[in-house]
Amino acid sequence: LRATDLANMGLARAANIPVVVVGDIDRGGVLAHLFGTVAVLAPEDQALIAGFIINKFRGDPALLAPGLDQLAALTGRPTYGVVPHSDELWLDAEDSVSVSAREVVGVPAPPQGRQWLRIGAIRLPRISNSTDIEALACEPGVLARWVTDPADIADVDVVVIPGTKATVADLAWLRERGLADAIAAHVGSGRVVLGICGGFQMLCERIDDTVESRTGAVAGLGLLDADIAFAPDKELRRWEAPLSGYEIHHGQVVRCAEDGWFDAGGRPGGYRRAGVFGTHWHGLFDNDEFRRHWLQTAAAVAGRHGFSVAADVNVAGRRDAQLDLMADLLAAHLDIDAVLELVDGGAPVRPTITTALRR
C-alpha cells in the first residue's frame, strides 16, 4: 500500500496489472465517485484503469444508461456491467468495510423453537475478523446486530466483543461510550458475554501491553479472573482437530483462575465463568456442532428456553452457496469476455484525465 492511496494500486503499477474500479451505487453518487477516482490518480495509475463495474443496482438498468454513456464520454472507459442488488446474497464482510452500527448481520431466518436469541456484537472502531459474528448469525432464530451504544444492548441476550487490531485503545473506547458499565450490568443480570481474541483480552483483570499501545499495565473489565501480557512476537497457529480455527495475537494468558471452556491439544482453548466466555480462537463457530452446542448453552444461561438450534446448518456450505449465487449474478450481468481479455491482454490504452483551476 501507498500512503493515502487506493488499495492495490501500488501492486498494479509494479506488475502492470489492469484495474477495474467497482462502485457501490447503494451509497449514492456512484458516477461522480467513479469519475473522480480516475481523475485524481497520477497519469501512470490512470493508464491501468480499464473500466468500471456498478454494483448493487436496484431497478431498471435502462434508466442508468444515459449516465453510463456520459461516464464513458468523460473518462474514455467502458462500464463492463451493472450487477443488481440481491436480498438473498450475504457474503462475509471484509473486516470493517461493510460493518455498520445497528445493522443486522446477515439475513435472519425464523426460529426453530418459540423464541429468538438476540445478539449484540460491539462494533469496535478497530474491529477485525467480523466473520466470527457472521457464523453465529447463520443459525435460524439468531438475530445478531452491530451495536455501539449502551442502549443497544439493553434487551439482547448475548453481547459479543469481537477481535480488534488495538485492544487497549478499543477498551478505552468501550469505557468512554459507557459500554463497559453496560456489559458489566448485562453479566450481572445473568446474561451472556463472549469475548473473541482482543475482546477476550478485554474481559480479563489486567492487560500488560508494551507492544501495541505501549501503555503498560491497564485494567481490563474484570469479568474473567485472568491476566494478559503482550509478547513481541505474535502467536500464529492454525488448529485442525478436533476443532478447526486459528489464532493471531500478541496477548498471552499469563495467569488464569477460571475453568477451561473447551480443550485444545490438552490445554484450554478458552475460559469460562458462568455466562462469560473468552477465547483467542477465530473461526471457532465455523465448527457446526460446537456452534450449535454453544448457542444452546448461551440461550439456557440467558433464560431463552424456547430457543432451539437447527440440526442442518453448515456454515461452510452456506458460504459456498453464497459464492455460487454471486458467480451467477456476475455471469448474467457482466461482460465476462471483456474482463477476461484484460487478464490475457493487459490494460488497454485509455485517455488521461487532466484537471486545472480556472481563475
| Residue 265: C-alpha distances to residues 40, 117, 247, 248, 292 (Å) | 53, 31, 14, 17, 22
Helix (H, G, I), strand (E, B) or coil at 91: coil
Give the three cell numbers for residue 184: 458489566
Is residue 5 within 8 Å of residue 15, measured between CB atoms?
no
* Lookup: cell for 162: 469481537
The residues, ordered by sequence, that sit 6+ positions from 111 with a Cβ below 8 Å of its Cβ are 117, 140, 141, 306, 307, 308
Sheet architecture: strand order including 192-196 = 142-147, 117-122, 158-161, 192-196, 276-279, 270-273, 259-260
Helix (H, G, I), strand (E, B) or coil at 242: coil
24 neighbors 30 (Cβ within 8 angstroms): yes
Kind and range of the H or E element at 36?
helix 30-39
Tell me which residues are annotated as active site.
197, 282
